[in-house]
């Protein structure tokens, strides 16, 4: 049976959704137009989306960079949005999602492994042998057990980094040579082999905008830049299960 009341409710809901969509599209168009006119060299905008704050929009550029504006881009905000009730950094959460790298996307054949304990937990690490922070990180990781570290040589600090990385990749025991150098300052022994894997690591890093070392990728895709300590690694590993 035709129900006038229910039909009217559905019509109002559809109309409200349509109006919301039109307004959202208008805001998107206005923000893109005004930013381009006012900043001719402004990067191409990947996405415009609403934030939890009424009238404030997230503008995403260069894949993972975030700024905020009002509906007409009359004002621009750079920084973080904090949810004071939940005590959560919303910008940080959003950036973490945007920079995530699926573990399945990692070219594991271009890494060597260091296994501790049962090796069940998995972490990928991009490191440059000349990175002082990486040496500190390696020393700290001696406290993390029952994990497999997939070590990606990532020489981005200069020509000597490339030479050392190539020699480390060509070592008979890559894991031992790496740890000898990073933990005990044992000189890297010159060696030769096919080092295309090292070059592919650099290209992979460029594609996914890995700009510093160490950079960690956890099994759930979480990316963490910087030499975090063993306690922080343990916390992320627990969440990544």
Of 96, 154, 147, 105, whose CA–CA distance to 125 is shortest?
154
Each residue's pLDDT tens digit, 29-88: 999 999 999 999 999 999 999 999 999 999 999 888 999 999 999 999 999 999 999 999
Are residues 94 and 9 part of one domain?
A: yes
Domain boundary among 99, 124, 156: 99
- How many domains in the chain? 2
Domain boundary among 72, 99, 126: 99
Radius of gyration (Cα) for the chain, nearest Å?
Answer: 24
Residue positions counted in the chain: 241
Each residue's pLDDT tens digit, 139-157: 999 999 999 999 999 999 9
- CATH, residue 198: 3.40.30.10
Handedness of CA 134, 95, 234, 145 (dihedral sign): negative
Each residue's pLDDT tens digit, 162-191: 999 999 999 999 999 999 999 999 999 999
Give bridge partners of residue 83 from the DSSP assignment: 88
pLDDT(4) > 50: no
Beta-strand runs (E) in 158-233 = 215-218, 223-225
Are residues 112 and 231 part of one domain?
A: yes
Are residues 109 and 91 part of one domain?
A: no
Total-model pTM: 0.74
């Amino acid at each position: 049976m035709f129900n006038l009341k229910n039909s009217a409710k559905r019509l109002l809901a559809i109309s409200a959704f349509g109006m919301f969509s039109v307004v959202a599209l208008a805001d998107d168009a206005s923000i893109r137009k005004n930013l381009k006119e006012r900043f001719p060299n402004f990067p191409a905008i990947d996405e415009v989306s609403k934030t939890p704050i009424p009238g404030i929009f997230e503008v995403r550029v260069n894949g993972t960079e975030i700024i905020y504006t009002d509906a007409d881009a009359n004002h621009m905000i750079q920084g973080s949005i904090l949810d004071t009730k939940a005590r959560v950094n919303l910008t940080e959460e959003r950036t973490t999602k945007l920079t995530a790298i699926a573990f399945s996307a990692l070219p594991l054949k271009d890494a060597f492994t260091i296994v501790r304990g049962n090796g069940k937990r998995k972490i990928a690490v991009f490191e440059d042998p000349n990175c002082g922070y990486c040496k500190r990180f390696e020393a700290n990781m001696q406290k993390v057990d029952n994990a497999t570290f997939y070590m990606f040589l990532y020489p981005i600090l200069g020509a000597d980094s490339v030479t050392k990385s190539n020699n480390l990749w060509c070592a008979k025991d890559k894991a031992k040579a790496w740890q000898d150098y990073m933990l005990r300052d044992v000189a890297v022994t010159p060696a030769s082999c096919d080092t295309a894997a090292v070059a592919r690591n650099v290209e992979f890093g460029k594609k996914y905008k890995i700009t510093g070392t160490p950079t960690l990728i956890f099994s759930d895709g979480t990316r963490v830049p910087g030499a975090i300590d063993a306690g922080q690694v343990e916390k992320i590993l627990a969440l990544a299960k």
